[in-house]
């Protein structure tokens, strides 16, 4: 995770966005007197949002746990 100041992010926004996909997929932008912000590639955000949705209720969590257990119990060929 990369951390930069707000002024650095503004001055180098294009480079910062380019580096999200090549070097560091998450960047925190520090802001004085405000909550810090995070920028990341859209694909990473969508993946995280999908995971949060799947884990957002007990029925989904239970179904995922059962599916993982079934997968782990499958015989593996050598």
- pTM higher than the cut 0.75: no
pLDDT band at 35 (very low <50, low <70, confident <90, very high): very high
Q: Do residues 14 and 47 share a domain?
A: no
Q: Do residues 48 and 67 share a domain?
A: yes
Residues 41-50 have a mean pLDDT of 94
Secondary element (H or E) of residue 20: helix 13-22
Q: Note the pLDDT of residue 50.
A: 93
Closest CA to 19 of 38, 37, 40, 48: 40
Domain that holds residue 72: 42-78
Whether the per-residue pLDDT at 45 is higher than 90: the answer is: yes
Q: Do residues 29 and 8 share a domain?
A: yes
Q: What is the rounded average pLDDT for all residues in the chain?
A: 93
Residues 50-74 have a mean pLDDT of 94
Closest CA to 9 of 34, 32, 40, 30: 30
Domain count across the chain: 2
Within its chain, how far is the Cα of 11 from the centroid? 24
> Is residue 29 a contact partner of residue 37, using CB atoms and an 8 Å limit?
yes
Whether the per-residue pLDDT at 77 is higher than 80: the answer is: no
């Amino acid at each position: 995770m990369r951390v930069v100041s707000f002024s650095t992010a503004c001055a180098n926004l294009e480079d910062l966005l380019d580096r999200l996909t090549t070097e560091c997929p998450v960047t925190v932008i520090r802001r004085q007197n405000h909550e810090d912000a995070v920028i990341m590639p859209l694909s990473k955000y969508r993946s995280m949002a999908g995971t949060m949705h799947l884990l957002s209720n007990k029925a989904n969590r239970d179904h995922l746990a059962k599916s993982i257990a079934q997968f782990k119990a499958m015989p593996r060929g050598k």
